[in-house]
Structure 1
Amino acid sequence: MARGATGGSHATRRRLVLIGLLAEPGARPAPAWPDLSGDDWREIDRMAQVHRLQPLLHHRQQDNPAIPRDIRAGWREAFRESALWALQVSGELAATHALLDRAGLAPVALKGAWLAWHAYPHPALRPLRDIDLWLPADQIIAAYGLLREQGYQAADDAQLSLDQSLRLDKHLPPLVSPRGVLVELHHRLWEIPGRMDHGAPLADQDELRDQTIRIGPIAYLDPQDTLAHLIIHAVYDHRLDCGPLLLADIAFLLARTPIDWDRFARDARKGGWLKGAALVLDMVRDHAPHLALPPPLPDCPAPPGIAADLLLQELDTRQSAGVIATLRAGGLRAFVLRILARRADRAGAPVARDLRGEGGFAAWATTRLARTLRELSRSEVRGQSRRLATLSRWLDS
């Protein structure tokens, strides 16, 4: 993982230490850290909390005397709380899936739902923020209406209509279940072309749906397709801001199920996500060197050395950094559309978000631009925007 560093800065060193603490036995050692101060450990713990890493750190490092006792105690408590939350989410997943199933709809649980209960050694190690259920596009409005009738509430004020979300987003506005769990209904597995600063991978969604599996009453993506989904979601949809759980997700998935690597390479090349696959598998080799991974994928240039910083980028500045990254990578038109709160696919006219809940368009645009300019005065935000733009340009190169 050392080759993912962007320099010798103190912040980068902390990030590398955290990623090293998450790595599996036998991984490349983390940078030397005996001289870490209390402030260093508190910052490492803060990053771990932001990226849902504390339960896994408890699992990996609970007996490590080099880590301050209070930090380890906090990780132990995070594991306990995550275990309780996992029980609640498990019940909600079963109830929501059954509700849609009984109505003749065809929900498929995505990513964390399979990983937490069928790949990780304990579901608490893989905290879920929400439940993602994938449905055919011609069923999703009916599914949304059914959940609303059953007491599921809108999580936020919707800024797009359901029809606009169906055209421009990969999921409808999130709902909160009667028991307080966030549920997202997806009609696409990843972003449409034109939504990001780089090209979007292609997907044969009918083929992926034909390959789904069923464990008990719940349908899931096939694990090999889950691997592809994890890579595309992390790299192309989120430019790695989903955090180092990505590495653990893939390591536990690969330890749990065999992968047809020839098919994987064919799918990646056909779908246009070969570079993202090469980038992620390169990181996984460092994270879990005992895994039987294929050699580096052919015909793929070396990725830029920004992975460690992007895996632990600051989430509260990603919007501002992303706005400037859009200017750097996508040009002035893409930047203006983002500032003006417009969304568009490559074939359609831009659609304006409904910003009445944020004081109207003028108030939103002024606030968004002012915040972006204010945060750009911080060197770390400028660096974050450069790294985001670098990744987008590399993906399209």
Structure 2
Amino acid sequence: MSRARIGRALMALCGHRARESAELTDSDWRELDALADQHRLRPFLHGRLTRGEIGSAVPAAIAASWQETHRANGIAMLAQRRALLQAGRVLAEEGIAAVALKGSALAWTVWPAPAERIMRDIDLLVGEEEAPAAYAALRRSGWAAPDLPREDLAGMAGSQAHLPPLHSPEGVMCELHAHVWGEAPLPGSTMPLADDAGLLSRAAHDEALGAAIPSAEDMLAHLVVHAACSHLLNVGPMALVDIDLWCTQRSVDWEAFWKRAAEHGFERPAVLIFALVDRWRRPGFLAHSGTPASPDDDLLVEAEMLLVQDLDARKDVSALASAAAGQFGGRIGQHPLDRAERPSGGLGRAGQLAQRAWSLGRSALDGDTRRDALATARLQKWMEG
């Protein structure tokens, strides 16, 4: 399978097995570069290349594209950090505590350079009851977002992980989270328990970022659940890099982490993710973290391929995985967040559903997509025990 070979070569370039990519042809490199672009890894690969962590086998044209993406992302990261600090100040003036999540907290604290980590948006967690006021405060300060009644915002804060996206005056997107994670992606599945209030109370100001970030254990739990449970590994190899860099530069209380993982229901997802970190990023990670078990090789092989899946097929993979698991639930009405941003009438929604049905039918005929769907269904079943 070409996709498997190229996908594993990309995974290797991101960690300790980088030399395994030395035998790639020019065509292979072009395919790998396209996959790296899709998974937002070009700037990181440029950093690794300049530090001598990859070697000299990368074709010059591809290395140049990595360098250019790194430069462009460096500029974007400055704008995103500025927007993050602006949002934090606005909320602080309202007496609302906010905590930076995921890339917003990682890029400036543990990555080799912020320019190496591409972020689609900035993520801020606030208390559920304060989320409507936080949203309104940002809109008053010039952030663009749908003008929604407070009761609608309160309803979304109670049922969704985040409110409709806001955009800073410079165009930086922010997801204002009322919960650290939301509902399961597959119908009939469950999510680990979330400790939103605890995360907010344990967060601390980070001087390098200039904003509050989660504690070591809270951040690690969030990264594990986000990658394994919320997204079923369709987040790409960057998830392994995030976790490895966080754990090597932060002091994690492993006993406390595993106790909470068992109590809150994310022990198996953590075991899986840590096994992948051990295999592709840092040998010995399982032993260092005190991981209580290790998945079998068959599951790890499937998990690796899910990390480098075609991101354009993610929705179809989830739908086919639901069907494979015997769950046929679907959303006929428009999602609340989509409705808030781009409301569509009956005809418009019918057109959206018809387009989804056409895409799903096409994906069902694609071998890679079918394999990813079946692997996703098996992954979900394994994580739930």
TM-score (norm 1): 0.86
Structure 2 SS opposite 1:109: strand
Counterpart position of 1:267? 260
How far does residue 258 in structure 1 lie from its aligned partner after superposition?
1.3
Counterpart position of 1:41? 29
CA contact (8 A) 2:162 2:177 kept: yes
Counterpart position of 2:130? 139
CA contact (8 A) 2:161 2:177 kept: yes
How far does residue 127 in structure 1 lie from its aligned partner after superposition?
1.7
Counterpart position of 1:293? 288
Stretch moving more, 117-126 or 208-217:
208-217
2 CA distance for matches of 1:156 and 1:363?
Answer: 26
Cα deviation code 1:162-189 (max 9, x no counterpart): 3442233100011111111010100100
Greater fraction of residues in helix: 2
2 CA distance for matches of 1:47 and 1:372?
Answer: 22
How far does residue 384 in structure 1 lie from its aligned partner after superposition?
1.8
How far does residue 194 in structure 1 lie from its aligned partner after superposition?
8.0
Match of 2:221 among 228, 238, 259: 228
Counterpart position of 1:92? 83
User: Is the counterpart of residue 109 in structure 1 residue 100 in structure 2?
Assistant: yes
1 CA distance for matches of 2:122 and 2:304?
Answer: 27
Counterpart position of 2:12? 20
Stretch moving more, 352-361 or 49-58:
352-361
Structure 2 SS opposite 1:154: coil
Q: How many residues align?
A: 372
Q: How does 1:1-397 map to 2 (within 5 A)?
A: 9-23=1-15, 27-28=16-17, 31=20, 33-34=22-23, 36-62=24-50, 64-154=55-145, 161-192=152-183, 198-216=189-207, 217-286=210-279, 287-289=281-283, 293-298=288-293, 302=296, 304=299, 305-332=301-328, 334=329, 337-338=330-331, 340-341=332-333, 356=344, 359-397=347-385
1 CA distance for matches of 2:342 and 2:39?
Answer: 30
How far does residue 381 in structure 1 lie from its aligned partner after superposition?
1.5
Q: Kindly provide the amino acid, as one letter, of the partner of residue 302 in structure 2.
A: I
1 CA distance for matches of 2:19 and 2:160?
Answer: 39
Q: Kindly provide the amino acid, as one letter, of the partner of residue 314 in structure 2.
A: R
| Alpha-carbon distance change, 213 to 293 in structure 1, aligned in 2, over 3 angstroms | same
Cα deviation code 1:72-130 (max 9, x no counterpart): 11111111111111111111111111111111111111121221111112111122211
1 CA distance for matches of 2:353 and 2:38?
Answer: 27
| Alpha-carbon distance change, 32 to 354 in structure 1, aligned in 2, over 3 angstroms | closer
Higher relative contact order (CA 8 A, sep 6+): 1
Q: Which runs of 5+ in 2 are unaligned?
A: none
2 CA distance for matches of 1:258 and 1:327?
Answer: 42
How far does residue 301 in structure 1 lie from its aligned partner after superposition?
5.2
1 CA distance for matches of 2:137 and 2:326?
Answer: 39
Q: Kindly provide the amino acid, as one letter, of the partner of residue 241 in structure 1.
A: N
1 CA distance for matches of 2:377 and 2:340?
Answer: 24
Structure 1 SS opposite 2:176: strand
2 CA distance for matches of 1:28 and 1:21?
Answer: 7
RMSD value over aligned CA atoms?
A: 2.7
TM-score (norm 2): 0.89
List 4+ stretches of structure 1 deviating above 6 A: 351-354
Q: Kindly provide the amino acid, as one letter, of the partner of residue 288 in structure 1.
A: R
How far does residue 343 in structure 1 lie from its aligned partner after superposition?
6.5
Structure 2 SS opposite 1:128: coil
How far does residue 312 in structure 1 lie from its aligned partner after superposition?
1.1
Q: Kindly provide the amino acid, as one letter, of the partner of residue 183 in structure 2.
A: I
1 CA distance for matches of 2:270 and 2:72?
Answer: 33
Cα deviation code 1:269-319 (max 9, x no counterpart): 001000100001101112112657234324x75471312111111111111
Cα deviation code 1:134-177 (max 9, x no counterpart): 000110011111112222123899xx953442233100011111
CA contact (8 A) 1:194 1:200 kept: no
